[in-house]
Amino acid sequence: MGLPRARMMVAILLLLVPSVVAAQTGTVTRTHLPNGLTVLVRENPEAPVVAFSLMIRMGTRTETPENAGIS
């Protein structure tokens, strides 16, 4: 597969991604646990899989003067 053809395939795939994302169904449920953890859940009973993603608010942006230098 030549480079121009590969670029065309990538362009086509990138054009299809928004339609796939828009086709996802289900409402998002947000729950705040007592320990401060926020859990977002979107169920899709048609898919026999479980996907997990973890995002942690950390870094110098979230440091206070009391805990400066921890991250």
**Mean of per-residue pLDDT scores for the chain:** 78
Residue 50 banded pLDDT, cuts 50, 70, 90: confident
The pLDDT of 57-63, averaged and rounded, is 76
Those residues with Cβ within 8 angstroms of residue 59's Cβ, 6 or more apart along the chain or in another chain: 71
Number of structural domains the chain divides into: 1
| Its pTM surpasses 0.85 | no
Residue-range definition of the domain harbouring residue 53: 3-67
